Amino acid sequence: MIFLQLNPLSGPVAITEMVLLLAGTALIGWLLGRWVMAARLDALRESIEERTGELDFCRSTHATKVNTFQSARLKTAPSINFAQTNIQPDDLKMIEGIGTAIEALLNANGFQTFADLAEAKPEYLAGILKNAGSRFQMHDPGTWPTQAALARDQNWVALEEMQRNLKAGRI
């Protein structure tokens, strides 16, 4: 009955009412936010579990394909002793998009001349870059075989014209 005797127009009572209303509203907002975020977190956890399963399946499938490809490649590739041949390596940095680090990486993977690079598929070169780490993955080897073919044939005018239209090795 004491509540009936309080004057809602008095300063302390009005302030107390406002504080109680604001505190109640804040509590309700916090509870609703927690409920909504819990539902979102559950959905995200389920999505992560699904994607993890898909990723594991993809990795296992990809690993068997890569192992099959590598074993077939190793069985059919002829062994060449590069120490006995006198191959002068070309300056692969003449190709737009290839710097010193990428040239060393390509040399380590058996690409010594423009002819070697001209015969390579861009997908294979992209695989080499991807396996070398994130530092090399941003490079696009799509035009490198074409440029290397022009350099191999010593068609310098066409190579220079092509490189003028490229930016960092990309069309």
Q: Do 108 and 158 lie in a common domain? A: yes
Model pLDDT, residue 56 = 87
Q: What is the pLDDT of residues 89-129, one digit of tens each?
A: 888 888 888 889 999 999 999 899 999 999 999 999 999 99
Contacts of 148 (CB under 8 A, 6+ apart): 92, 95, 114, 115, 116, 117, 118, 120
Closest CA to 94 of 108, 82, 106: 106
61 with 100, same domain? no
pLDDT, one tens digit per residue, over 16-61 is 889 999 999 999 999 999 999 999 999 999 999 999 989 988 888 7
Q: Does residue 136 share a domain with residue 98?
A: yes
Say how far apart CA 161 and CA 7 lie, in whole Å: 90
Same domain, 130 and 72: no
Identify the domain containing residue 121 by its residue range.
Answer: 92-164
- In a domain? residue 52: yes
C-alpha dihedral over 51, 56, 58, 63, to 10 degrees? Answer: 160
Domain count, the chain: 2
- Could you report the per-residue pLDDT of 67-90, keeping only the tens digit for each? 655 555 555 555 666 555 667 888
Tokens of 43: 């959905």
Helix runs in 77-141, H state only = 100-108, 114-119, 122-132, 134-137
Residue 169 lies in a domain: no
Helix axes 144-152 and 156-164, enclosed angle (nearest 10)? 160
* Claim: this prediction has a pTM higher than 0.75: no
Q: Is residue 83 part of a domain?
A: no
